[in-house]
Homo-oligomer: A and B are copies of this chain.
């Protein structure tokens, strides 16, 4: 689904990743993290696709909301498992959405 986001400005976290082989508990945690992210204050929406690489873009009200989510204890554990087991490589970009338009 294309996320229904409010009128800009708001923030995007662009998470691009390359997975390791096998699931290793990834799917379950990914689902839980999505559920948990949706409960955060300031969460606006998320879009995700994967084939050779995975791209997940989550949208947030402001930088404070992104910081709070990054520091969430359960998320922190997932980040560490991600670094150790699930991702061969990843990059996170924090970006301020200034404009948007639709079909």
A residues lining the B interface (CB < 8 Å): 1-3, 5, 8, 12, 14, 16-18, 47-55, 57, 83, 87, 89-103
Q: How many angstroms between the C-alpha atoms of A69 and B99 in the bound complex?
A: 16
Q: How many angstroms between the C-alpha atoms of A50 and B2 in the bound complex?
A: 12
Chain B residue at smallest Cβ distance from A98: B94
Q: How many of these chains are in the complex?
A: 2
Whether A16 and B57, one on each chain, are in contact in the complex, defined by CB atoms closer than 8 angstroms, is yes
Shortest Cβ distance from residue A75 to the other chain B in the assembled complex, whole angstroms: 15
Q: How many angstroms between the C-alpha atoms of A1 and B18 in the bound complex?
A: 8
Whether B90 and A99, one on each chain, are in contact in the complex, defined by CB atoms closer than 8 angstroms, is no
Whether B57 and A49, one on each chain, are in contact in the complex, defined by CB atoms closer than 8 angstroms, is no
Chain B residue at smallest Cβ distance from A54: B49
